[in-house]
C-alpha cells in the first residue's frame, strides 16, 4: 500500500457519504477509501461508539484518550464531520453533501432514515437519481425479524455459525473474529461496485439492502450444502473438516501444524515426507471418502508420525513439496513474518500502524493517505467545499446541527 496525499486508485473520483458506525459499514467504507474514494464520515453528535471500545487507546500529549484501536482499525483515509440529523438544519447539510455524492452508506436501525424524512424511496431516489444508497441493517426492514437491531456475535449465534464452530467438548463457540460484520462489509463493497458499474449503462443509482443476517446465512458453507444433500445436522469437529481429510491441526515436537490436504496426490506426498508411504495405499485411506470414514484411525496415525518432528521444518518441507500446511501462529508472529512484510500487509506512518489492503492492483494500487481523524476534524474543509461560508458553518455549529465537539 503506497503512501500518497492525493486520492488515487481504482475508485478515484467516487465520493462516498458514510453515515455508518461500529464495524460493518466502516470496514466497507475503509476499503472504498483505500482504493481512492473520497469518503466523508458523518458521525452522530455522540460520535462513533467504537471510539470508546478499548483499551487499548491512542492518547494525546496529556495522556487523554483520543480513540480506541478498534476505531482506528477501520477508519483511515476518511474525512470526519458530525451532524445532528434530528434537526432540520442537519438534514439540510446532509442533502447538500449528497448533491456531489455517488454513494451513501448507513447502518442505522431499519426505518430511521425514513423517520427523519431521508428515506430512499420517499426522498433520495427522486432528488438524487444517480445516488447509490447502501443500507446496512441487522435483519432488513421487514419479515419476522425485520427492524430488530443486530450485532455480530448475536447474529453468529442466530445464523448457526456458533453451532458449527468449536468441538464436541466446547459446545457452540463464537468465531474469534467478527466474521459476519467483516463479511457484510465486503458484501457491501461488492454491491456498491456492481451498482457503480451498472450505473454506467442505466445512468441511475439504486438502493442496496445488506443485512447481517443474510451475510451470516450465506457464510454457512459447506454446512448448508451438506444439509441440503444429506439432511444431517452438522456436527462440531473442532479444527477438522467435515468433508476433507486429513484437514486438521496436529501437535508436533515444537509448534502445532495445520495440514490441509485436498487430494490424493497431496496425501501421497505427505506420507512420503513422513516416511510412511504405505499409508497412502492403505485401503482405509486410499480416497478422501475413505479417509473421512476412517478419520479417527487416520488422525491417530498422523499424530504419532508428527510427535517427534519440528513443526517449522516440517511445514517448510510440506510447502516445498506442494502440500498445503501452516504453523499455528499468534498475531505478533504473523505481523512480523517476512512474508507479511514482503506482501506489504502492514501500514506504518506517523505513529499509525494498521493492516493494509489485501487487493493488489497493477496500475491503481490502494493508498494510505491519512490516519483516522479526530472527531469532526474536517468540518470546515468539507462544508466549505459544499459551498458554505465560514460564518454559515459557525451558525450551524451554534444551532447544534453541525457538531464540533462530541456530546459524551
CB-based contacts of 354, cutoff 8 Å, min separation 6: 72, 73, 76, 346, 347
Cell of 145: 425479524
Query: Which is it for strands 78-82 and 38-43: parallel, antiparallel or unpaired?
Result: parallel
SS3 content of the chain, % helix, strand, coil (to 5): 40, 15, 45
The span from the CA of 401 to the CA of 136, in Å, is: 24
- Residue from 102, 152, 181, 248 carrying the catalytic annotation: 181
Helix (H, G, I), strand (E, B) or coil at 207: strand
Q: What span, in angstroms and rounded, lies between the C-alpha atoms of 214 and 150?
A: 12
Q: What is the dihedral of CA 111, 116, 122, 127, to 10 degrees?
A: -130
Q: Are 277 and 335 in contact (CB under 8 A)?
A: no
Q: Are 403 and 376 in contact (CB under 8 A)?
A: yes
Cell for 153?
A: 456475535
Length of the chain (residues): 408
**Nearest Cα to Cα of residue 74 among 19, 22, 30, 43:** 30
> How many helices and strands in the chain, by DSSP H and E?
17, 15
48 labelled catalytic? no
CB 136 within 8 A of CB 184: yes
With 0-12 / 13-18 / 19 or more C-beta atoms within 10 angstroms meaning exposed / middle / buried, residue 336 is exposed
- Residues with catalytic function: 181
Amino acid at each position: 500500500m503506497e503512501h500518497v496525499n492525493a486520492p488515487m486508485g481504482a475508485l478515484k473520483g467516487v465520493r462516498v457519504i458514510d453515515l455508518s458506525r461500529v464495524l460493518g459499514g466502516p470496514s466497507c467504507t475503509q476499503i472504498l477509501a483505500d482504493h481512492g474514494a473520497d469518503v466523508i464520515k458523518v458521525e452522530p453528535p455522540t460520535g462513533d461508539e467504537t471510539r470508546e471500545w478499548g483499551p487499548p487507546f491512542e492518547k494525546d500529549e496529556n495522556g487523554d484518550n483520543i480513540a480506541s484501536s478498534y476505531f482506528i482499525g477501520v477508519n483511515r483515509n476518511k474525512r470526519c464531520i458530525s451532524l445532528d440529523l434530528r434537526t432540520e438544519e442537519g438534514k439540510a447539510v446532509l442533502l447538500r453533501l449528497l448533491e456531489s455524492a455517488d454513494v451513501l452508506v448507513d447502518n442505522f436501525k431499519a426505518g430511521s432514515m425514513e423517520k427523519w424524512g431521508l428515506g430512499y424511496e420517499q426522498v433520495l431516489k427522486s432528488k438524487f437519481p444517480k445516488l447509490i444508497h447502501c443500507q446496512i441493517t441487522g435483519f432488513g426492514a421487514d419479515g419476522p425479524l425485520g427492524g430488530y437491531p443486530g450485532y455480530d456475535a448475536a447474529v453468529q449465534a442466530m445464523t448457526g455459525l456458533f453451532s458449527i464452530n468449536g468441538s464436541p467438548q466446547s459446545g457452540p463457540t463464537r468465531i474469534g473474529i467478527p466474521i459476519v460484520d467483516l463479511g457484510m462489509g465486503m458484501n457491501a463493497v461488492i454491491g456498491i461496485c456492481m451498482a457503480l458499474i451498472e450505473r454506467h449503462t442505466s445512468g441511475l443509482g439504486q438502493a442496496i439492502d445488506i443485512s447481517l443476517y443474510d451475510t451470516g446465512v450465506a457464510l454457512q458453507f459447506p454446512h448448508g450444502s451438506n444439509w441440503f444433500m444429506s439432511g444431517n445436522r452438522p456436527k462440531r469437529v473442532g479444527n477438522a473438516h467435515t468433508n476433507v481429510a486429513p484437514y486438521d491441526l496436529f501437535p508436533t515436537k515444537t509448534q502445532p501444524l495445520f495440514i490441509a490436504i485436498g487430494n490424493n496426490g497431496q496425501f501421497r506426498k505427505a506420507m512420503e515426507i513422513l516416511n510412511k508411504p504405505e499409508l497412502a495405499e492403505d485401503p482405509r485411506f486410499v480416497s478422501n471418502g475413505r479417509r473421512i470414514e476412517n478419520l479417527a484411525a487416520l488422525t491417530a496415525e498422523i499424530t504419532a508420525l508428527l510427535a517427534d518432528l519440528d513443526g517449522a521444518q516440517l511445514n517448510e518441507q510440506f510447502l516445498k513439496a506442494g502440500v498445503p500446511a501452516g504453523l499455528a501462529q499468534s498475531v505478533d508472529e504473523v505481523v512480523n513474518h517476512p512474508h507479511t512484510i514482503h506482501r506489504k500487509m502492514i501500514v506504518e506512518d506517523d505513529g499509525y500502524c494498521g493492516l493494509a489492503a489485501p487487493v493488489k492492483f497493477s496500475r491503481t494500487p490502494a493508498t494510505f493517505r491519512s490516519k483516522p481523524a479526530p472527531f469532526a476534524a474536517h468540518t470546515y474543509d468539507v462544508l466549505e467545499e459544499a459551498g458554505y461560508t465560514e460564518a454559515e458553518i459557525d451558525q450551524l455549529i451554534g444551532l447544534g446541527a453541525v457538531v464540533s465537539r462530541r456530546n459524551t
